């Protein structure tokens, strides 16, 4: 593809972004689908989060993906919020429609699709523990609530953040019991059938210290961070007969959904898997 004056530009905005697979994924999909567009990774200081929407408009970007903490802080500056993003209280995709910025969230749906594809089960009727109440954790909480989880417990190092998230989620999913707890060993409930680690790498020691001895064999432990070589607790859970899931499937499914929002062209996760050349995931 030749980059010219008609080439649309999309970007990942966050900190850090150097390890992201998103540019490789989207650029190869653009090439294969004949879309005149490029995708770049932009390292932006979190203190400038509120400037991102104006930059998207000024530079005429076609859209952006966002990482933490941008996912929550751009919301007041957008023109429209998709219902799924409003329920999650977080945005990971912003689409620019002729200067009108629309916020979406594909994290939660991407996670649920990966869970069903890889594990053969969904969150329906399950007791779910989510580690981290940031943008990703809230998106996953909203998605499993929408799919009929029996209960969702949000754990966070700063308890009031989890409490605010739970207060917002309760109104949208009244059939699911939501609860907030501190992210610490004494508060962790080992009765969860599904645990999703949505914390950043910095919380690794805290997550590693959580008790898992009584988690039931056959339950599922997911780590949403696809880039970690040795995610906390994953090996220990596998050794105890707990089913484990890495975050690469979530990345691929949310990436497919993002590509469709950017271009209007549906793309299956099989195409994403082929682009990233991932086997045995």
Please report, for residues 90, 163, 208, 259, the alpha-carbon distance to residue 77 in angstroms, rounded to integers and kept in the order given. 13, 24, 37, 23
What is d(CA 103, CA 56) in angstroms, rounded to the nearest whole number?
12
Give the catalytic positions in this structure: 71
CA quadruple 230, 205, 130, 162: dihedral positive or negative? Answer: negative
Residues constituting the chain: 281
What is d(CA 257, CA 267) in angstroms, rounded to the nearest whole number?
8
- Nearest alpha-carbon partner for 183 in 213, 210, 144, 214: 210
What is d(CA 172, CA 237) in angstroms, rounded to the nearest whole number?
32
What is d(CA 171, CA 61) in angstroms, rounded to the nearest whole number?
35
In this structure, what token pair is assigned to residue 271?
């195409």
Distance from the first to the final alpha carbon of the chain: 30
């Amino acid at each position: 593809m030749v980059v010219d004056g008609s080439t649309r530009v999309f970007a990942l905005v966050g900190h850090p972004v150097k390890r992201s697979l998103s540019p490789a994924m989207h650029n190869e999909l653009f090439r294969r689908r004949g879309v005149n567009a490029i995708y770049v990774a932009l390292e932006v200081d979190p203190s400038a989060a509120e400037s991102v929407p104006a930059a998207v408009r000024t530079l005429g970007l076609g859209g952006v993906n966002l990482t933490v903490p941008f996912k929550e802080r751009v919301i007041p500056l957008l023109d429209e919020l998709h219902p799924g993003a409003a329920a999650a209280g977080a945005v990971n995709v912003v689409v620019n429609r002729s200067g009108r910025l629309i916020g979406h969230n594909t994290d939660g749906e991407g996670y649920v699709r990966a869970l069903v594809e890889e594990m053969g089960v969904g969150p329906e009727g399950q007791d779910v523990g989510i580690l981290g109440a940031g943008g990703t954790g809230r998106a996953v909480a909203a998605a499993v609530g929408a799919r009929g989880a029996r209960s969702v417990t949000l754990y966070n190092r700063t308890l009031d953040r989890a409490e605010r998230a739970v207060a917002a989620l309760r109104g949208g999913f009244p059939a699911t019991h939501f609860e907030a707890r501190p992210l610490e060993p004494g508060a962790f409930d080992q009765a969860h059938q599904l645990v999703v680690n949505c914390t950043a790498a910095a919380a690794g020691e805290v997550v590693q210290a959580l008790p898992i001895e009584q988690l039931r064999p056959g339950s599922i432990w997911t780590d949403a961070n696809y880039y970690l070589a040795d995610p906390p607790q994953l090996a220990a859970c596998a050794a105890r007969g707990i089913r484990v899931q890495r975050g690469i499937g979530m990345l691929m499914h949310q990436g497919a959904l993002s590509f469709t929002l950017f271009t209007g062209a549906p793309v299956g996760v099989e195409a994403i898997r082929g682009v990233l050349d991932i086997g045995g995931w």
